[in-house]
A and B are shown apart, each in its own frame.
Chain A
Amino acid sequence: MAVYLLRRGGEGVIVLALVSVLVFALIGLMPGDPIDLLISADPDITSEDAARLRALYGLDRPLYERYLAWLGDALRGDLGFSRLYSQRVTAILWAPLQNTVILMSLSLVLGLLVAIPLALVAARRPHGPVDVTVNLLAFAGFSVPAFWLALLLILLFAVTLGWLPAGGVHAVGDPSLESRLRHLVLPVLTLTVLNAGVYLRFTRGALLEVLNEDFMRTARAKGLGLGQALLRHALPNAMLPLTTVVALHVGTLLSGALVVEVVFAYRGMGKLTYDAILANDFNLAMAALLLATGLTLTCNILADAVYSWLDPRVRYDD
C-alpha cells in the first residue's frame, strides 16, 4: 500500500509539471497580453511606453523562457508578484484559500449529512411516495441554477427578512467568528442544496443496486430487518461509488464555487483564479491552478486509500 501511494505521489508530481506547462502555454497563447489590456484602458499610452512595460514585465521574451524563469523561481519557493493585486502571490492566496476550504468543507459535509439519510429512506421503498418525493428534491437540488438560488436566498433572508447579511466574508471591521458564521450561512446553504442533490442521486442508485445482491437476500433471510440490512450491509457497499464522486468533487474545491463566490461577494479561490486568468496574471493563475490540480490528485490518492479501508477486498499490489 505504502509503495503504491508513493508511486501515485510520484505520478502526481509528473502530472503537476505537465499541467504547469500546459496552463502557462494556454494563458500565454490567449489573445492580448497585460500591456494590451492596459492600453485599452488608457489610450494615451504610447508604443514606446508599451515596449518599455513589456520589457519591464518580461513579456518581450519567448514563452518558454518565461516559463523556465517562473519554474526556477517556483522551485525556490518564490511564486512571484501578482499584477492584479500588486502583492506577493503567497500573501494573496492564503485568505481566499482558507475561505474556500471552510465554505466547501461545510457544504460538502452538510450535503452528505442530508443526502445519505434521505437516500436510505428512499431506498427502503423504491418508487414509493417517499422515494418519488426524495428523487424530486434531488433533481431540484442539482438542476437549480446556483446564481438563481443564491439570489433568491439573498432576497429572502437578507432583503425581505433582514436576518442574514447579503454578502462578504465578514462584516467590515468585524472578523469575529460570529460575523464569519453569519456570512457563511447563505453560501453554504446554496452549495449544500446543490451538493446534496448530486450525492442523494448517487447514494440512492448505489443502494438500490446493492439491495439486489445475493448477500443482501442472505442477510434478510437470516432475519435482519430492512433498516438494519441497509445500514449494516448496503450502505458500506454503496459508499464506494459515493467515495469516487466525493473525491472528484473535492478536487474541484478550489475552483468550483465561482458562481456562489461572485454572487455572495465571498472572496474565494474560484473567483481569484477566474480573475487571474482574465487579467493575464500569470503568477497568480499558475499558483491557483496548480493548487487545484494538486488537491485533485491528492484527493484521488486518498480515495484509493479509502476504497481499501471500506472494502477489504480491494488490495493494491506493492
Chain B
Amino acid sequence: MVRWLLAGLLLVALGATAPVAARDTLRIGVSQFPSTLHPSIDSMLAKTYVRSMTLRPFTGYGPDWELRCFLCTELPTLENGLAERIERDDGSVGVKLTYTINPDATWGDGVPVTTDDVLFTWRSGKHPESGVANREVFTNILDIEVHDSRTFTLEVDKLRYNYNAINGFLVLPAHVEAEVFDAAPATYRNRTRFDTDPTHPGLAFGPYRVVEVRTGEYIVLERNPTWHGTTPAFQRIIVQTIENTPALEANLLAGSLDMIAGELGLPLEQAIAFEQRHGARFQVHYETGLIYEHLEANLDNPIFQDRRVRQALLYAVDRQAMTDRLFDGRQPVALTNVHPMDWVHDETVPTFARDVERAKALLEEAGWTPGRDGVRVNGDGVRFSFEFSTTAGNRSRELVQQFLQAQWAEVGIEAIIRNLPPRVLFAEHLSRRQFTGMALFAWISSPESPPKTTLHSSMIPSAENAWSGQNYTGFANAEVDALIEAIEVELDREARAQLWSRLQYLYATELPALPLFFRANPHVWPLWLEGVTPTGHQDISTLFVEYWRVAD
C-alpha cells in the first residue's frame, strides 16, 4: 500500500516543476483578501492595495509625503485662484475649489471620466443608505457646480488647513453604477458591480484592470489599454492571498510568488529572520510609516493621574535598546505621535532617554516609595501595580510587553500582563473605557493629521456620546484642545508649524500616551524588480505601480 501511495505521489510530481513565470507577470503575495472592491464601502488595506492599481484618487500624498494631483490636473490653492474663500451670512467660512479631470482619463471600456462621474460619486457617497462607512468627504461638500465635462467646482463647508485634499473622493463610473444604485440605494452595497461583476472594464481607469477574481484566493489584473499615464512594465499582476505568513514565505521560496507586499505581508521579526537566511536571493526593504505603537493608560486610575508618574514610566525604559534588540533597530523610537518624515515633526521636544535614577526620583516625588516586596506603594498603602493588555497572539507586542515589564520592575513598578483578543480589546476594553491599567496598541494616521479623535477632550468615549471618539485615556487639556482646533483652520504653513511644535511639546511633557516606536513594513522583492516606492503612509506603493520594472 505504501509503495502504491509513493508511486502515486511520484506520478503526480512528474512534470511538477514550478513553471518559471515570464517576466511580464508579477505575482504578489498578501496576507488579506478584500471584503469588497467598491472604493468607498468598507475600509481595508487589501482593497486599497488592489484599488490603487485600478483607480486613482483626485489628490493624494506622494512618496515625498507632499500632496499632489493624481486624477486632477492642478491642485487648487488660494494663491493660484482655483480655491476661493467664501464667507457666509451665518459667519461660517467655507471654500470653493475648482478641479479639472485629466483630459486623457478614460474608463477601461472607452468611456471618458467626466463630471457625470463626479456628480454620481457625490450623490451616492452622501446617501445615508449607500453603505459608505465614512461619509465625511462627501457630506463636507455642500454643492458641486459643473462647468464642462471635465471641470467642476466644489463648495466645501469649512476652510480647513488641508482644504484642497480630497483624497477620499474616489470617482465611480456613473455609466456602470448609477443604474444599480438608483434601483435601490439601500441594497446598493450588495449589488454594486465592483462585487457582482468585478471584471467589468468600465470599473477601472488606472494602469491595470481586474480580469479575474477568485474569492478568498487571488485577483488577477492586466494592463488597462485606456490608461493615460506611463505604460506599466508588467502585462499581468497576480495578487494572491495567503494568510499564514510562514506559508507566505514558503510560497516565495518555492517560486510561487515573486514578492511579498510590505503593507500586507510578513511580520517584522519574520522578515528580519528571512533576510538573514535568504538575503542574497531577495531584496528586503524596511519602510517606517505612520503606524504609531504606544501605551495608553486610563487616566481615571489615580496611579496614572500624576504627570511625574507617566514621565517616570518612560524614563524607566530604554526604547532604543528595545527596538535594537527586538526589531534589529528597524523601527525608530517615537518622540511623540508625529512621524519624523512628517514636515510638522519637531525633534526639539524632550526625549526621555533611559534614566533609571531620574525615574526613581520622580516616583519618590509623586509619593511612591519602595514597598517590602520591591513594588512601590503610596501613602495609602496602594501598590504600584496595574493590568497591562495588548492584542493576544501578536508576537511583536508580546515581546515588547515583556521588555517593558522587566524594566519597570527595576524601578518598583508591577505590570501584570493580561492580553485580550483584538475584538475584545478594541470593541470593549478600550472603546468602552473598561481598562483600568495600560494598553499597548497602534494608531494609524495620515501626514499632518491633527490628533482630534485621540486627544481632544470632546472625543472621550462615554455612554452620553454613544462611545464615540478614540480618546481612550480620558486626557483633557484645554490648551491641547485649543491647539487642535487652531491647527484645523490655520492656513499659513509657518504659523501652523508653530502650533504643531507647541502641541508636540505638550504631548512629550504631559504624556497623554507613552510613545514607543513607529512600525516598519518589510517589503520583500526579487532581485530583478526595481522602481517600487513604499511611502510609509496611507497612499501605498501600488499607487505608483506603473513605475515598477524589471532591472536591466
Contact = CB atoms under 8 A, between A and B. Distances in A.
Interface stretch (B70-78, B250-258, B506-514): B250-258
Contacts of A42: 43, 133-134
Interface stretch (A61-69, A221-229, A257-265, A295-303): A257-265
A55 to B, nearest CB: 9
A200 to B, nearest CB: 12
Given A39-B431, A86-B189, A163-B16, A56 B453 contact: no
Contact of B427 (A40, A168, A267): A40
B495 interface: no
Interface in B424-454: 424, 426-428, 431, 443-444, 453-454
B392 interface: no
A265 B241 contact: yes
Given A44-B453, A84-B35, A262-B244, A56 B13 contact: no
Given A83-B35, A263-B244, A165 B254 contact: yes
Interface stretch (A123-131, A181-189, A239-247, A286-294): A181-189
Contacts of A114: 1-2, 5
Contact of A32 (B44, B256, B427, B469): B427
Contacts of B192: 86
B478 interface: no
A218 B35 CA distance: 66
Contact of A151 (B195, B250, B427, B468): B250
B540 interface: no
A267 B426 CA distance: 28
Interface in B159-217: 186, 189-190, 192, 195-196, 212, 214-217
B190 A86 contact: yes
B133 A45 contact: yes
A163 B13 contact: yes
Interface in A148-162: 151, 154-155, 157-159, 162
A52 interface: yes
Contacts of B367: none
Interface string B228-268: 00000000001011111011001101111000000000000
A186 B42 CA distance: 36
A87 B34 CA distance: 12
B466 interface: yes
A162 B254 contact: yes
Given A113-B1, A163-B17, A56 B131 contact: yes
B256 A86 contact: no
B453 A92 contact: no
A85 interface: yes
B43 A36 contact: no
A265 B192 CA distance: 28
Contacts of A85: 35-36, 215-216
Interface in A82-111: 83-87, 92, 95-96, 110
Contacts of A30: 423
B254 A158 contact: yes
Contact of A31 (B9, B128, B427): B427
Contacts of A163: 13, 16-17
Interface in A259-312: 262-265, 267, 271-272, 278-279
A38 B136 contact: no
B276 interface: no
Interface in A27-86: 30-33, 36-47, 49-53, 56, 81, 83-86
Given A166-B250, A189-B9, A86 B36 contact: yes
Nearest to A278: B423
A38 B42 contact: yes
Contacts of B453: 43-44
B135 A31 contact: no
A221 B489 CA distance: 101
Interface in B117-173: 128-129, 131, 133-136
B280 interface: no
Contacts of B246: 151, 263
Q: Which has the most chain B C-beta neighbours within 10 Å: A50, A113, A158? A: A158
Nearest to B253: A159
A43 B454 contact: yes
A141 interface: no
B18 interface: yes
A165 B195 contact: no
Contacts of B319: none
22 contacts: A31-B423, A37-B427, A41-B43, A45-B133, A51-B466, A53-B133, A56-B131, A85-B36, A87-B196, A117-B1, A154-B254, A162-B18, A162-B254, A163-B16, A166-B250, A166-B251, A167-B251, A168-B256, A172-B220, A182-B16, A267-B216, A271-B243
Interface of B: 1-2, 5, 9, 12-13, 16-19, 27, 35-36, 38, 41-44, 128-129, 131, 133-136, 186, 189-190, 192, 195-196, 212, 214-218, 220, 238, 240-244, 246-247, 250-251, 253-256, 422-424, 426-428, 431, 443-444, 453-454, 465-470
Counting from the closest, the 9 A-B pairs by CB-CB distance are A32-B427, A47-B468, A36-B427, A40-B426, A163-B13, A158-B254, A86-B36, A265-B242, A166-B254
Given A51-B466, A155-B250, A165-B254, 18 more contacts: A32-B423, A36-B427, A37-B426, A38-B42, A40-B427, A45-B134, A47-B469, A83-B35, A86-B36, A86-B192, A159-B253, A165-B18, A165-B256, A167-B250, A168-B256, A189-B9, A263-B247, A264-B247
